[in-house]
Structure 1
């Protein structure tokens, strides 16, 4: 398997030749890893293509390289602010259902051994954790960016959104998916900037993107990164 050296990080990737392609493209998946598909090119050019997207690849690997969703057990990895953290689960009869604590190096999840639906209890505790951390981490960003941009929302709410990271209503109420707290700050910033821009432009017109680019000049890259992350 080819390896490209990006700073101190080795990027292992698979190179697939496809004669029908005119340009190369890169994908990053949990099972597939990093895949480069190109028309016939030399190995050194393949490395250069990987390195040209090195920063994006490294960040994407952090997001997708985790134990797949399913039963959360000791040894699982959970996302928080763009990083994956080890999970340790312990049992305690004094705990009602389940409780989550984050130590800045791992997640400690305590669960009552008598709880009927163990996974549902853990999921509910993790949702509470995400909602609380979103209040702590995301709401100040909304306040700071709204003041910087001069775009003040009517209200700001954190909710569980199934198909989007955020929205802005016709009444300028901003809704942010509290699961965004799992993302890197760069992407959280972008979500906030994007929704605040909708206070001025409700659609995705050229005027909207022109305004968006003032505070998020790399909005196209951010859109692509968010599009690769499944809610």
Structure 2
């Protein structure tokens, strides 16, 4: 690790040299500050370039510090809470003489019933999968409802609506006109869900992120930048 001092701040960075022709700067949430450099640059030359870029690096680090980390995995026990459409509902888990696991959102709680024949070793994973299935089912219903609400304003009809497991995207629009949504978005507030829906519907009209695209999104969701910021800060929290 290399270090520079900039005002009252210290910047640690790692240099990765390769056959590239230009120097690149990256602020990574896991790996820190990475400097990708051509092989012919000396340590002194790189350090001078890092000093010139220090303000940008510190700004990026500050933004990353705002991002909330991924939550601790649930044990799926009574008293824990799960998010749904921006609210957090307490779990009530009971053991009964039934088959498998059942789940419903009732009277302000996620009520989970578990077979008394299921071992403690299998219990957590079976409940976890049932919770995911519940989210996916309700995401399919709710997202179709929101697409139907906004498609007339956008002026485009999707070919299909699909609910998927996507690691890095909240939604996508295929060349076939299909809209794909990450099921985890159903944990976010409805206003954020609506932004994702309008964003992907707008891609049916404008495949890129052009000015026309953002103008269309802005006419329907005027404060869409607030929703982007919410996702940037809270996105990792949409997990179980």
Equivalence for 1:199: 204
Equivalence for 1:168: 173
Distance 1:195 1:135 in 2: 15
Greater CA radius of gyration, 1 or 2?
2
Residues 105 and 150 (structure 1 numbering): CA distance in 2 closer, same or farther, change over 3 Å?
same
Equivalence for 1:123: 128
Distance 1:138 1:104 in 2: 23
SS at match of 2:102: strand
Distance 1:165 1:214 in 2: 21
1:73 equivalent to 2:77? Answer yes
Distance 2:106 2:154 in 1: 34
Question: TM-score, normalized by length of structure 1?
Answer: 0.69
Shift of 1:132: 2.0
Equivalence for 1:44: none
Shift of 1:227: 1.9
Please identify runs of 4+ aligned residues in structure 1 that moved more than 6 A: 21-26
Distance 1:191 1:104 in 2: 29
1:102-139 C-alpha deviation (Å, 9 max, x unpaired):
11411111111322411111111111211221233221
Equivalence for 1:114: 117
1:86 equivalent to 2:90? Answer yes
* Paired positions, count: 178
Gaps spanning 5+ residues in structure 2: where?
1-6, 10-54
Question: TM-score, normalized by length of structure 2?
Answer: 0.66
Q: CA RMSD for the aligned pairs?
A: 2.4
Gaps spanning 5+ residues in structure 1: where?
1-17, 31-63
Shift of 1:160: 2.3
Question: Larger relative contact order (C-alpha < 8 A, sep ≥ 6)?
Answer: 2
